[in-house]
A and B are shown apart, each in its own frame.
Chain A
Amino acid sequence: KQEVTQIPAALSVPEGENLVLNCSFTDSAIYNLQWFRQDPGKGLTSLLLIQSSQREQTSGRLNASLDKSSGRSTLYIAASQPGDSATYLCAVPPASNTGKLIFGQGTTLQVKP
């Protein structure tokens, strides 16, 4: 059964710092991995989807990498801003790729001005 874990649970950094969020999964037979952002009391906004055949995917200041064999993904945020403060979730479909997503518990990021 696929399990997704995110470390750390919370992170506080000063504005301008580069940072890395980690996501690990137990079953490496994934089709893709998706990173989401969740603001307090709000829905999930898709940030990046990285296919199993890709090593990384970039969008603006965000870069997601994927190492299937080790069961890990990282989300790199460059030059962090207070507006980046949110909870970041990673999610993978199960090996059967039925469409559902299995989520990690998230990393809550606070960027201090």
Chain B
Amino acid sequence: EPEVTQTPSHQVTQMGQEVILRCVPISNHLYFYWYRQILGQKVEFLVSFYNNEISEKSEIFDDQFSVERPDGSNFTLKIRSTKLEDSAMYFCASREWGQETQYFGPGTRLLVL
């Protein structure tokens, strides 16, 4: 069964460094999402992406964050200058056109020191 994949599974970085989190959505899906879950807290929406542009972003998704679909398969989340509070599990999700179920990847655990 097709699934969303994410790399790396874990990343440790120093505060102020840039990180890129990678996702490969399910191949025929057209809607892409990033969510994050700080340890012990709710899963929070960050951004949605459709037709090569951001369709919605939350107040968390400030100028330090950007998303890109550099080719036909990858979907990336970049954090330009990481802060301690960016430490969280980051989930990518995708959805097929005309369907409402979102399929989530296994997540990338980001630790900012």
Partners in one complex: yes
Question: B91 — which chain A residues lie within 8 A by C-beta?
Answer: 43-44
> Is the beta-carbon distance between A42 and B107 smaller than 8 angstroms?
yes
Report the minimum CB–CB distance from B41 to chain A (whole Å).
8
Bound Cα distance from A31 to B102, whole angstroms: 14
Q: Is B53 an interface residue (CB 8 A)?
A: no
* B48-A89 in contact (CB<8A): no
* A102 in contact with B100 given A41-B109, A42-B107, A43-B105 (CB within 8 Å): no
Q: Which of A32, A51, A103, A106 has the most CB of B within 10 A?
A: A103
Select one of A43, A49, A98, A104 contacting B100, CB under 8 A. A49
Complex: A100 Cα to B91 Cα, angstroms? 13
| A residues in contact with B104, CB < 8 Å | 36, 43-46
Q: How far is the CB of B65 from chain A (nearest CB, A)?
A: 15
How many residues of A are counted as interface, with CB atoms below 8 angstroms from the partner's CB atoms? 24
A101 touches B102 (CB 8 A): yes
Minimum C-beta distance from A106 to chain B (A): 8
- CB pair A103–B48 under 8 Å, yes or no, is no
- Taking CB atoms and an 8 Å cut-off, the chain A residues in 62-103 that contact chain B are 89, 91, 93, 98-103
Shortest distance between the CB of B33 and any CB in chain A (Å): 7
Interface size on B, residues (CB 8 A): 28
Any chain B CB within 8 A of the CB of A34? yes
A105 an interface residue at 8 Å Cβ cutoff? yes
A99 B107 Cβ-Cβ under 8 A: no
Bound CA span A31–B31, Å: 17
A26-B20 Cα distance, complex, nearest whole Å: 36
Chain A residue contacts of B100, Cβ below 8 A:
31-32, 34, 49, 51, 93
Given contacts A34-B100, A98-B56, A99-B33, 11 further A-B contacts (CB under 8 A): A43-B105, A43-B106, A43-B107, A45-B104, A46-B101, A91-B43, A99-B48, A99-B95, A100-B48, A100-B56, A101-B43
A interface residues (Cβ-Cβ under 8 A, vs B): 31-32, 34, 36, 41-46, 49, 51, 89, 91, 93, 98-106
B residues engaging A (CB < 8 A)? 4, 6, 31, 33, 35, 41-45, 48, 50, 55-56, 58, 89, 91, 93, 95, 100-107, 109
